[in-house]
């Protein structure tokens, strides 16, 4: 998907520039042509300009990313996640009614979501995969997602983000007067999207379309295909 988008953006860009090189002007008196290479040379210039900017930008990020990852390393080592996890447990038990509260899956779900909230990035992906593996143990049909897995997915893709570190870093590198001013808006917007995610999963999982039974046949047929 990303390959096609990338390629078509380049092709469309060059094509549009090439068409503009013809310099077609339509007036009531007729169609005029004023050919010039200006649009294409502009494009060349811009492409080189941007690739240089990519490196400037990335180097500008080093300081703040280092600062943030340093702080986060302390959070990780001190076990701050477990404190947040403990506070979130009552809520999580309600959001995942299919998971028994004392099941290991509940623990790993809470840990993973706490790490995502803190913006722990690299540390949160393995925790998320662990949570998924633990939920899979409780899954009756191994190739069909459970309600809990879908809910977990919806929460983690919309997750409340407390500190969007990379974005703050990019804003600083670009010379913003107040790079951190986006923190509260991001918290507010992610609060909205998380709420929508939860409401949507709870509604959609009841729809006849998304019932597990509907997928059983499709899966059985696929298994038959693989055998033959």
Partner 1 sequence: MKNLKGKIILFSVLGLLVASFFIFSFVEVMQVISVLAIPVIIVIIPVYGHAKGVKVYEVFTEGAKEGFQVALRIIPFLVAIFLAIGAFRASGAMDILTWILSPITDRIGMPGEVVPMALMRPLSGSGALGIMSELIKTHGADSFIGRLASIMMGSTETTFYIIAVYFGSINVKQTRHALPSALAADLAGIVASVIICHALFG
Closer residue to partner 1, CB minimum distance, 114 or 149? 149
Closest distance of CB 167 from partner 1, Å: 5
Nearer to partner 1, 100 or 191 (CB): 191
CB of 142 to partner 1, least distance (A): 7
Which span sits near partner 1 by CB under 8 A: 29-37, 92-100, 101-109, 203-211?
203-211
Contacts for 128 with CB less than 8 Å, ≥ 6 apart:
112, 115, 116, 156
Out of 14, 93, 95, 138, the residue judged to bind partner 1 by CB under 8 A: 14
Instruction: Check: CB of residue 165 under 8 Å from CB of residue 68.
Output: yes
* Region at 203 (left for phi over 0; alpha for psi -120 to 50; beta for the rest): alpha
For residue 91, what are the CA distances in angstroms to 19, 109, 113, 199?
A: 58, 12, 12, 15
Residues 119, 121, 125: CA angle, nearest 5 degrees = 125
Of the candidates 23, 20, 25, the one whose C-alpha atom is nearest the C-alpha of residue 40 is 20
How far apart are CB 21 and partner 1 at their closest, in Å?
Answer: 10
Q: Is 204 in the site for partner 1 (CB under 8 A)?
A: yes
> Which residue stretch of 25-33, 98-106, 143-151 sits at the interface with partner 1 (rule: CB under 8 A)?
143-151
**Does residue 124 bind partner 1 (CB under 8 A)?**
no
Contact characters 82-111, partner 1, x per CB under 8 A? ----xx------------------------
């Amino acid at each position: 998907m990303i390959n096609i988008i990338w390629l078509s953006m380049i092709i469309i860009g060059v094509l549009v520039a090439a068409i503009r090189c013809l310099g077609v002007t339509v007036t009531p008196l007729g169609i005029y042509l004023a050919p010039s290479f200006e649009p294409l040379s502009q494009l060349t210039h811009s492409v080189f300009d941007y690739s240089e900017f990519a490196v400037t930008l990335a180097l500008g990020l080093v300081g703040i990313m280092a600062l943030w990852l340093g702080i986060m390393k302390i959070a990780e080592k001190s076990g701050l996640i477990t404190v947040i996890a403990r506070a979130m447990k009552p809520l999580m038990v309600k959001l995942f009614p299919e998971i028994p509260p004392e099941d290991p899956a509940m623990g790993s779900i809470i840990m993973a979501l706490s790490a995502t909230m803190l913006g722990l990035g690299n540390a949160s992906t393995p925790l998320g995969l662990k949570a998924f593996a633990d939920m899979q143990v409780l899954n009756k049909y191994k190739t069909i997602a459970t309600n809990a897995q879908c809910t977990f997915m919806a929460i983690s893709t919309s997750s409340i983000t407390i500190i969007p570190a990379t974005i703050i870093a990019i804003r600083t590198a670009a010379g913003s007067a107040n790079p951190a001013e986006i923190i509260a808006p991001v918290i507010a917007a992610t609060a909205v999207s998380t709420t929508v995610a939860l409401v949507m999963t709870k509604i959609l999982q009841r729809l006849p379309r998304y019932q597990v039974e509907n997928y059983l046949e499709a899966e059985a047929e696929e298994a038959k295909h693989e055998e033959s």
